[in-house]
Amino acid sequence: MSIVTVLENSLSQDKSQRETALNFLQDAANQNLVQFLRQLSEILRDVNNTTFVRMQAGLQLKNQLYSKNSSVRMQLGQRWLTIPEADRSYIKENCLLTLGTEVQSSAAQAVAYIAVIELPAGQWANLMQVLVANVVDQASTPLKKQATLQAIGYICQDIDPNFLSAQSNEILTAIVNGMKKEEQNSNVRLAATQALLNSLEFTKQNFDIDAERHYIMQVVCEATQCAETGIKVAALQCLVKIMNLYYQYMETYMNQALFAITYEAMKSEVEEVALQGIEFWSTVCEEEIDLAIDEQESEEKGLPPTVSSKHYARGALPYLVPILTATLTRQEEQDDEDDWGPCKAATVCLMLLAQCAGDAIVGAVLPFVNDHIRSENWRFRDAAVMSFGCILEGPDPDNLRSLVENALPVIIELLRDPSNVVRDTSAWTIGRVLDTLPGLVVQEKFLNPLLHGLVEGLGAEPQVAANVCWAFSSLASAAYDQAVSQAGTSDSRSAQVETYCLSGFFEPIVGKLLETTDRQEAGQHNLRNAAYHALMEMLKHSPRDCYATLQKTTLIVMQRLKSIQDVADKLQTSHDRAQLNELQSMLCATLQSVLHKIDRNDAPNIADAVMELLLRMLTQQQVQQHQPADDEAEQQSGVQEDALLAMAALVDCLGEDFIKYMEVFKPVLLSCLRSVTETQICMNAVGLLGDLCRALGERIAPYTDEIFVILVELLSSQAVDQSVKPSVISAFSDFSLALGPGFFKFLEIVINTLQQASQAQVDVSNPDQVDYLNELREACLEAYTGIVQGLKGNGPTPHTQELRSIQPAVQPMLHFIAMVARDPVSTDEVLGCACGLLGDLVTAYGADLLPAVSDDVFSAMLQKCRRSKVSKAKTLAVWTTKEIRKLKNLQTA
């Protein structure tokens, strides 16, 4: 059977024929990949084949080059590169020759997939030349130009910009050539505009040059005036992205063109066009919010800002607000969650504008609110409430106070509006009010009607109920914080609040929320999640006089978890399991939040049962994970993540009493620690280890040998995500503090590890890597601290013998501290840890260390941290300074 026939059959109506065909193709690939790919490329190129067959050949070719799974994708790429050069050239040539011979180009994709593999490997160097020639060549057919531009677009979309920036000139030439208004064929123009959209990231060097930038901007602006909607929209998308990437160059164009273009676009009858106009201004706002933050930071550091805000948004405010509020009245009758159109985009734009413009927004929007909040037309009522909700974040809350005070009764009333859209928006707005002016809403005159409105709202349509739940979440903390501040304690976590304004309603609210989580339609609009979240917030923020309800709820939550587990054991389909997993996750998180509130005396009563539930969750999940993984894998790990966090809460709650569970828990813990590919599980297990150390102290000793081996493996494993490693290093400090001198046996390896880890270097131009470096260094400093403190002992006199054993490491520690102190990328958090370690060393080794510690680099660091805004850094620096001065005083005396 020829491959052409097989490809035909692969689209057959007959299922068995189809399967046979697909198996045949798979076999062909397995038996002789090179031969198979060569054949596919021939079929693709041959214009005598049907469109169907050619497309199918292109698809098969793609399947051998690309996968959604990133590690499979890597393997496919490696495999392609092992194919002999001659064969690859043949296949590539066929693909290139196909460009322009199809109506819908599969070849464009094939070219792109190969390019994404070869270009980063430094191969196929002449590709761009060929593609550019295709576009610029007068003789090229429009179809060829279009396909070529599509190929360029795909490449730009998928490749790391670094590999293309060297060729940005060629690429831009091709694209701009296709985009010009002289281009008659609108398909070509569209493909070019879309390609430009994908290439904007790596054309920075062209944007840096005035003449080139002017030209690009001119072509883009012209394209926005094109009559074809597709091209217009793509060109507007380009403007949005350009604004985001090249804000600093926009001043000239803003006045001359961009304002007018986007203003007109926002007013357009065509939804896609209006949407992009609004997105443009949302982006301007976001940029300017960021710049304002940057400016503030630079000012604090005494540096000039690199880019300064031109306050376009504030300037355009009087023009933007009328259009945005008008757009808000164009709601869809039936709201589809996945819809995204001008009305919703206008909401977000107005919110961003408020954050950007601050107080100025209030006067601009308020007339609209007042005029329409009692309108006969629900669209206008909704738009009025919506715009009120939008402007709550940004202006100074004090300036909003009287405004909110007047509007709140109306909005509470609107919770009962005949329109479900209005009810929904009102519930959302109340949540916003609670976040902005929490103290105001919990006043008695508002509280009663509000609670009635909200509780009723829990029974409404899922969408409305979900927004009501979020309002409850905000209300819970608002009410609790009010009680805390009345009790006069600043630290809300240590405070024991006796009662609060919701105490009288606590039980019914919690009951109603529990009911809501059980509603038939709770799966829609995230209602179940929102309800559980509200429940958690209520429980977390409950005063003492609601303890009985909290206890009762704990039992209900445990009961629910148990029955779910019974069901889960019997489930077959992964879809059902995924749903159940999410539910387990929520219940587990709820359990975790009550564990933090349970009295220490009551904890032992439920500990056995909780332990059983959590162990079952952890082991059940492990069984599932060994089954073939599919898309739900992520959600499964969510359950384990939450189970581990709940376990940490239980450990924290039980303290030393947790020891009786260690034997049963150990195997589970070890296997979680070994989950190298499940980053969060691994991370949470490592975190839990810390809590175990603090709770059990020396009694953790019998388990540490085995755990230690795993920790060291984690550190050297390439399979482990980088983010886990700092946590592992920090865990050494927990070990050392718990074991004291018992840590001795691990010392050599740990010190060795720390000395290596503290040398790690990263690319400082990449902010993510700088963050990572700081995290890693903080972990190393913590670990050193743990070791010094642990070995020194807690008694009045340091354990001199143990301390002597790490004496050789003291100098490297000081070097490390100095390195951190000198590095401009060090954050105050890291510097604070460094100060702490310095103080620990000084208290441990005493006056011997004074000469070394007197180095300017240390005093400069201490001084900087004493003035830090980060309270930990400040505390530690002051403490260390005192310790050093004490020693100096003793010495001079």
The interface with other proteins within residues 401-440 (CB under 8 A) comprises 424-425, 428, 431
Residues from 199 through 258 that contact other proteins (CB under 8 A)? 200-201, 240-241, 244-245
Residues from 84 through 123 that contact other proteins (CB under 8 A)? 120-121
Q: How far apart are CA 584 and CA 592, in angstroms?
A: 12
CB 273 within 8 A of CB 231: no
Q: How far apart are CA 543 and CA 555, in angstroms?
A: 18
From the list 49-57, 513-521, 752-760, 805-813, the region that binds other proteins by CB under 8 A is 752-760
Compose the 554-593 pattern: x for residues touching other proteins by CB under 8 A, - for all others: -------------------------------x---x--x-
**Least distance from other proteins to the Cβ atom of residue 785, Å:** 6
Q: Which is nearer to other proteins, 304 or 767 (CB)?
A: 767
**Least distance from other proteins to the Cβ atom of residue 502, Å:** 21
* All residues at 6 or more sequence positions from 621 whose CB lies less than 8 Å from its CB, including other chains: 636, 637, 639, 640, 643
Closest CA to 173 of 143, 120, 135, 222: 135
Closest CA to 779 of 686, 698, 891: 686
Residues from 144 through 173 that contact other proteins (CB under 8 A)? 160-161
Residue 722 found at the interface with other proteins (CB under 8 A): yes
Q: How far apart are CA 173 and CA 132, in angstroms?
A: 7
User: Could you tell me how far CA 781 lies from the centroid of its own chain?
Assistant: 27
**Sign (positive/negative) of CA torsion 441, 596, 644, 532?**
negative
Burial of 387 (0-12, 13-18, 19+ CB in 10 A): buried
Neighbours of 298 (CB within 10 A): 14
From the list 98-106, 124-132, 372-380, 682-690, the region that binds other proteins by CB under 8 A is 682-690
Q: Which is nearer to other proteins, 319 or 340 (CB)?
A: 340
Neighbours of 629 (CB within 10 A): 13
Q: What single letter denotes the amino acid at residue 712?
A: V
Closest CA to 155 of 103, 118, 187: 118
Binder among 94, 177, 309, 347 for other proteins (CB under 8 A): 347
**Least distance from other proteins to the Cβ atom of residue 834, Å:** 13
Binder among 769, 805, 819, 864 for other proteins (CB under 8 A): 769
Residues from 595 through 614 that contact other proteins (CB under 8 A)? none
Q: Which is nearer to other proteins, 38 or 519 (CB)?
A: 519
Residues from 829 through 858 that contact other proteins (CB under 8 A)? 836, 839-840, 843
| HSE-up (13 A, CA, CB side) for residue 837 | 32
Binder among 232, 533, 577, 597 for other proteins (CB under 8 A): 533
**Least distance from other proteins to the Cβ atom of residue 641, Å:** 6
Residue 262 found at the interface with other proteins (CB under 8 A): no
**Least distance from other proteins to the Cβ atom of residue 721, Å:** 8
Q: Which is nearer to other proteins, 120 or 449 (CB)?
A: 120
Residue 866 found at the interface with other proteins (CB under 8 A): yes
DSSP helix/strand/coil, 839: helix
**Least distance from other proteins to the Cβ atom of residue 272, Å:** 12
Residues from 636 through 665 that contact other proteins (CB under 8 A)? 638, 641-642, 645, 648, 652
Q: How far apart are CA 670 and CA 457, in angstroms?
A: 46
**Least distance from other proteins to the Cβ atom of residue 717, Å:** 7
Residue 621 found at the interface with other proteins (CB under 8 A): no
Encode burial over 29-68: b for 16+ CB neighbours within 10 A, e otherwise.
Answer: beeebeebbbbbbbbbbeeebeeebbbbbbbbbbebbbee
Binder among 33, 34, 348, 670 for other proteins (CB under 8 A): 348
Binder among 768, 807, 848, 854 for other proteins (CB under 8 A): 768
Residues from 784 through 813 that contact other proteins (CB under 8 A)? 785-786, 789, 794, 796-797
**Least distance from other proteins to the Cβ atom of residue 55, Å:** 26
Residue 351 found at the interface with other proteins (CB under 8 A): yes
| HSE-up (13 A, CA, CB side) for residue 814 | 19
Residue 549 found at the interface with other proteins (CB under 8 A): no
Residue 863 found at the interface with other proteins (CB under 8 A): yes
From the list 1-9, 277-285, 543-551, 604-612, the region that binds other proteins by CB under 8 A is 277-285
Q: How far apart are CA 64 and CA 310, in angstroms?
A: 50
Q: Which is nearer to other proteins, 601 or 889 (CB)?
A: 889
From the list 101-109, 136-144, 398-406, 754-762, the region that binds other proteins by CB under 8 A is 754-762
CB 421 within 8 A of CB 335: yes
**Least distance from other proteins to the Cβ atom of residue 820, Å:** 16
From the list 445-453, 619-627, 748-756, 820-828, the region that binds other proteins by CB under 8 A is 748-756
Neighbours of 122 (CB within 10 A): 8
Structure token pair of residue 746: 């691990």
From the list 186-194, 258-266, 276-284, 299-307, the region that binds other proteins by CB under 8 A is 276-284
* All residues at 6 or more sequence positions from 362 whose CB lies less than 8 Å from its CB, including other chains: 391, 395, 399, 400, 403
What phi and psi, each to the nearest 5 degrees, are found at residue 85? -50, -45
Burial of 879 (0-12, 13-18, 19+ CB in 10 A): middle
**Sign (positive/negative) of CA torsion 453, 454, 455, 456?**
positive
Residue 314 found at the interface with other proteins (CB under 8 A): no
Q: How far apart are CA 610 and CA 692, in angstroms?
A: 17
Q: Which is nearer to other proteins, 204 or 575 (CB)?
A: 204
Q: How far apart are CA 308 and CA 452, in angstroms?
A: 48
CB 387 within 8 A of CB 328: yes
What phi and psi, each to the nearest 5 degrees, are found at residue 122? 80, 20
Size of the site for other proteins (CB under 8 A): 108
Q: Which is nearer to other proteins, 217 or 639 (CB)?
A: 639
Residue 826 found at the interface with other proteins (CB under 8 A): no
**Least distance from other proteins to the Cβ atom of residue 203, Å:** 13
From the list 141-149, 666-674, 728-736, 808-816, the region that binds other proteins by CB under 8 A is 728-736
**Least distance from other proteins to the Cβ atom of residue 752, Å:** 6
Structure token pair of residue 516: 């809501």
Compose the 453-482 pattern: x for residues touching other proteins by CB under 8 A, - for all others: -------------xx--x------------
Neighbours of 391 (CB within 10 A): 26
Neighbours of 724 (CB within 10 A): 23
Structure token pair of residue 616: 């079952």
Binder among 776, 813, 834, 853 for other proteins (CB under 8 A): 776
Binder among 683, 820, 821, 873 for other proteins (CB under 8 A): 683
Residue 762 found at the interface with other proteins (CB under 8 A): yes
| Helix ranges, 717-766 (H) | 724-739, 747-757
Compose the 326-345 pattern: x for residues touching other proteins by CB under 8 A, - for all others: -----------x--x---xx
Closest CA to 225 of 215, 237, 235, 213: 235
Q: Which is nearer to other proteins, 60 or 529 (CB)?
A: 529
Q: Which is nearer to other proteins, 60 or 482 (CB)?
A: 482
Q: Which is nearer to other proteins, 28 or 284 (CB)?
A: 284
Encode burial over 455-478: b for 16+ CB neighbours within 10 A, e otherwise.
Answer: bebbebbbbbbbbbbbbbbbbbbb
Structure token pair of residue 519: 């509603």
**Least distance from other proteins to the Cβ atom of residue 889, Å:** 3
**Least distance from other proteins to the Cβ atom of residue 529, Å:** 4
